[in-house]
């Protein structure tokens, strides 16, 4: 029964949306690591790095969050925006 529900939930998400989210995830990841490398070379403090990271990758993070929330909505998650926001926050936290 659970397997059928998972298949139905997965089939409710168009492949084009999944592909767009994958591309957005890649763009955000590339931005995060480029910012990390740049800040490391400049020897910025951890506090300055955290701010730089959020500013530098805000467009990529917003797009990933927007697409992720759409996917979570289609999958029936109770609070898709909050889940997407947590995912973005976790991506920042892994680097700071």
The band of 10, judged by pLDDT with boundaries at 50, 70 and 90, is: low
Do residues 43 and 70 lie in contact, with contact meaning Cβ atoms separated by under 8 Å? no
Do residues 32 and 91 lie in contact, with contact meaning Cβ atoms separated by under 8 Å? yes
**Is 32 or 7 the better-scoring residue by pLDDT?**
32
Question: What pLDDT does 86 receive?
Answer: 95
Name the residue ranges covered by the structural domains of the chain. 2-93
List the one residue out of 26, 1, 13, 4 whose CA is nearest residue 77: 13
Contacts for 53 with CB less than 8 Å, ≥ 6 apart: 32, 35, 36, 39, 92, 95, 96
List the one residue out of 89, 95, 91, 87 whose CA is nearest residue 68: 87
Average of per-residue pLDDT across 11-17: 90
Contacts for 12 with CB less than 8 Å, ≥ 6 apart: 74, 75
Q: What is the pLDDT of residues 38-96, one digit of tens each?
A: 999 999 998 898 889 889 999 999 999 999 999 999 999 999 999 999 999 998 888 87
pTM of the model: 0.81
């Amino acid at each position: 029964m659970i397997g059928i529900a998972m298949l139905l939930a997965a089939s409710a998400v168009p492949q084009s949306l999944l592909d767009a989210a994958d591309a957005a995830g890649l763009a955000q990841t590339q931005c995060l690591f480029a910012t990390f490398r740049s800040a490391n070379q400049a020897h910025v403090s951890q506090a300055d790095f955290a701010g730089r990271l959020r500013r530098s990758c805000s467009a990529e993070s917003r797009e990933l969050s927007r697409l992720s929330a759409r996917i979570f909505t289609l999958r029936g998650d109770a609070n898709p925006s909050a889940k997407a926001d947590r995912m973005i926050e976790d991506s920042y936290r892994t680097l700071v």
